[in-house]
C-alpha cells in the first residue's frame, strides 16, 4: 500500500540583526510557518521545527529532520535570509530538496508598508541560496507559485509522493522464485546495479520452499479460501480438483511472501509444472497476490516488479501486462498476459472468470488462470530498463483503458488507447524508447509524478 511521505519544512527569513530592525513581525512569521505546514499536511507527515531565523534555529531543524528521517525538505524564504542559515541545514540532511519560491500576497498593493514587504520578499534571498547549493554540488528542485495556488500545491504533492516512493524503494525486497525466462534479453539485468541505483534488493527463493508449503496446506484453510473466491468471481468452469490445487499454490505463495517480508515476487511460473506436489501453473495465485498488494511479475521479471511497486506506491493498485494484438480499427492495442493480472482492477468483479489455463499444462493438469476485461479509465504504463554502466531509465506513457468485451483466451485484457497520437505512433515511440516486453499499469495519469521521481533519483525518464 502507499505510504505517507515525511516532509521536512524549512521556513526562514532574516528579521533582526545589526542592521535589520523588523523583529516585531516575528509572531506573524511563526503564524505563517504554521499556516504553510497546514497547507502541506494533505501531502504527508510534516516535520515543522518552526520559523528559522538564526544558526541555532537551523541546527534545531537539522536535528528534527535527521531524527524523523524526512523524505523531502521543502525550503522557502518568507523574507530575505543570508544563505548561510538555510545552507547550514540543507548540507547536513541527505533528503532531496525542493526550493519553493512563494509568497503570501499575490501583488504588492499601492498602500503597502515595509512590514508587508518584509513578510513577502523571499525572492530577494533565494538567488543566494540556490547559487550556494549549486556551488556545493547539492541537487535541488525548484517551484515558483503563490502560496495558495492549487496547481503549485499539486506539484508539491507529486514531489512528496515521489520522495516517499524513493524511501520505500530503498527498503523493498523482491523475492525471485526460479530464474528469469531463458533467452529473454530484457530480463538480463545486474541486481547489484538495481540495488545501487534504484533501491530494491532481489532475494532468491528456492521453488522447493513453495512446493513444501503446497503439500502441507491444510484442507480446512483451502476450503474456506475457495468459498470466498467463488463468491467474488465466477469459478463455474474450473474443475474442483484443479481449483483446489491452484488455491493451495496461491496460499503457499502468499505465505512465502509474508514470511520473507517480501514486497513483491518475480516468479518463473513454469518451475513447478513437473513437480508432482504442485504440477500446474500459478497464474491464478499470482493474480490473487496482486490484488493483495503484493505485486507479482511472471517470468521472474525483476525490473517490471520494480515498476509495479513504483506505481503501487503512487496509485494504490497495479497490474502486469504486455503488448498482445494491435487494433487498427479502434486505434488501440490489446494488452494482456497469459492468465495473470490483478482482478481488483476488473471492470466487473462478478465477471472475473476463473478458468483452466490454455497456455501451460503441468503433470497435474491445467491450473487456474483469470479472464476478465479491465475497467475503463485513464491509465499509466511504466517500464524500467538498464542502460549499462550503472544507468537506468524509466519509460512512462499515459493513455486510456477502453471498455471492451474480453476475448475467450483465459487471460485478463485491456484495450489501450494512447493519449498523444495514433496507435501506430505509440508502437513506434514505445519501441524507440527501449521498453521491455512487459509493463506495469495503474489507473490515473501519473506521468508528471514519474518525471519528478526520476528527477529526485537521478534516473532518466522517457515520456512516450
Contact 284, 370 (CB under 8 A): yes
Mean pLDDT to the nearest integer, 292-306: 96
pLDDT in tens, 118-163: 777 878 889 999 999 999 999 999 999 999 999 999 999 999 999 9
Residue 298 has pLDDT above 70, yes or no: yes
Q: What is the reported pLDDT for 105?
A: 76
Residue 291 has pLDDT above 50, yes or no: yes
* CATH tag, 172-463: 3.20.14
Percent of the chain at pLDDT above 90?
Answer: 87
Considering the entire predicted model, what is its pTM? 0.90
Max Cα-Cα span within the chain: 86
Residue 420 has pLDDT above 80, yes or no: yes
Task: Reply yes or no on domain 6-170 having CATH 1.10.1040.10.
Answer: no
Q: Where are the domains of the chain?
A: 6-170, 172-463
Q: What are phi and psi of 91, to 5 degrees?
A: -90, 0
Residue 427 has pLDDT above 70, yes or no: yes
Spatial distance between the Cα atoms of 117 and 108, rounded to a whole number of angstroms = 8
Q: What is the reported pLDDT for 123?
A: 84
DSSP string spanning 321-390? EEEEEEETTTTEEEEE-SS---GGGBS-GGG-EEEE-SS--BTTB--EEEEEEBPPEEEEEEEEEEEETT
Q: What is the reported pLDDT for 1?
A: 47
Which residues, in sequence order, are CB contacts of 319 under 8 Å at separation 6+? 290, 308, 341, 342, 345, 374, 412, 440, 441, 442
- Is 172-463 in the same CATH topology as 6-170? no
Q: What is the reported pLDDT for 257?
A: 97
Contact 147, 11 (CB under 8 A): no
Q: Which three cell numbers stand for residue 280?
A: 500446474
Residue 2 has pLDDT above 50, yes or no: yes
Which residues, in sequence order, are CB contacts of 445 under 8 Å at separation 6+? 378, 379, 380, 398, 419
pLDDT, averaged across the chain:
94
Q: What are phi and psi of 140, to 5 degrees?
A: -155, 160
- Count, residues in the chain: 464
Amino acid at each position: 500500500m502507499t505510504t505517507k511521505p515525511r516532509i521536512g519544512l524549512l521556513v526562514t527569513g532574516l528579521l533582526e540583526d545589526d542592521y535589520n530592525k523588523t523583529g516585531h513581525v516575528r509572531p506573524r512569521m511563526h503564524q505563517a510557518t504554521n499556516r504553510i505546514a497546514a497547507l502541506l499536511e494533505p501531502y504527508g507527515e510534516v516535520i515543522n521545527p518552526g520559523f528559522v531565523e538564526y544558526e541555532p534555529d537551523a541546527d534545531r531543524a537539522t536535528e528534527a529532520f535527521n531524527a524523523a528521517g524526512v523524505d523531502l525538505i521543502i525550503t522557502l524564504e518568507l523574507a530575505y535570509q543570508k544563505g548561510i542559515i538555510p545552507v547550514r541545514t540543507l548540507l547536513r540532511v541527505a533528503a532531496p530538496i525542493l526550493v519553493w519560491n512563494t509568497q503570501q500576497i499575490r501583488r504588492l498593493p499601492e498602500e503597502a508598508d515595509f512590514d508587508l514587504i518584509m513578510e513577502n520578499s523571499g525572492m530577494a534571498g533565494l538567488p543566494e541560496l540556490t547559487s550556494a547549493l549549486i556551488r556545493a554540488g547539492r541537487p535541488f528542485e525548484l517551484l515558483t507559485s503563490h502560496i495558495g495556488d492549487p496547481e503549485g500545491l499539486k506539484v508539491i504533492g507529486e514531489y512528496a509522493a515521489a520522495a516517499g516512493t524513493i524511501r520505500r524503494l530503498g527498503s523493498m525486497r523482491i523475492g525471485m522464485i526460479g530464474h528469469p525466462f531463458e533467452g529473454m534479453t530484457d530480463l538480463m539485468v545486474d541486481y547489484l546495479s538495481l540495488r545501487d541505483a534504484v533501491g530494491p534488493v532481489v532475494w532468491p527463493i528456492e521453488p522447493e520452499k513453495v512446493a513444501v508449503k503446497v503439500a502441507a496446506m491444510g484442507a480446512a484453510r483451502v476450503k474456506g479460501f475457495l468459498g470466498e473466491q467463488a463468491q467474488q468471481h465466477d469459478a463455474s468452469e474450473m474443475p474442483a480438483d484443479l481449483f483446489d490445487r491452484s488455491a493451495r499454490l496461491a496460499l503457499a505463495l502468499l505465505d512465502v511472501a509474508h514470511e520473507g517480508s517480501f514486497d513483491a515476487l518475480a516468479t518463473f511460473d513454469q518451475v513447478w509444472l513437473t513437480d508432482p506436489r504442485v504440477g500446474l501453473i500459478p497464474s491464478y495465485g499470482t493474480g490473487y497476490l496482486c490484488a493483495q498488494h503484493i505485486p507479482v511479475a511472471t517470468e521472474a521479471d525483476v525490473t517490471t516488479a520494480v515498476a509495479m511497486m513504483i506505481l503501487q506506491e503512487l496509485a494504490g493498485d497495479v497490474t502486469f501486462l504486455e503488448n498482445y494484438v494491435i487494433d487498427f480499427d479502434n486505434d488501440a492495442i490489446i494488452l494482456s498476459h497469459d492468465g495473470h493480472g490483478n482482478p481488483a482492477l476488473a471492470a466487473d468483479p462478478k465477471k472475473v472468470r476463473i478458468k483452466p489455463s490454455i497456455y501451460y499444462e503441468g503433470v497435474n493438469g491445467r491450473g487456474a488462470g483469470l479472464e476478465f476485461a479491465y475497467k475503463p479509465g485513464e491509465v499509466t504504463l511504466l517500464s524500467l530498463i538498464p542502460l549499462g554502466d550503472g544507468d537506468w531509465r524509466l519509460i512512462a506513457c499515459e493513455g486510456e483503458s477502453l471498455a471492451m468485451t474480453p476475448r475467450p483466451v483465459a487471460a485478463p485484457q485491456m484495450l489501450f488507447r494512447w493519449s498523444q497520437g495514433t496507435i501506430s505512433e505509440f508502437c513506434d515511440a514505445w519501441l524507440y524508447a527501449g521498453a521491455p516486453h512487459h509493463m506495469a499499469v495503474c489507473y490515473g495519469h501519473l506521468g508528471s509524478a514519474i518525471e519528478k521521481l526520476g528527477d529526485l533519483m537521478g534516473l532518466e525518464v522517457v515520456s512516450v
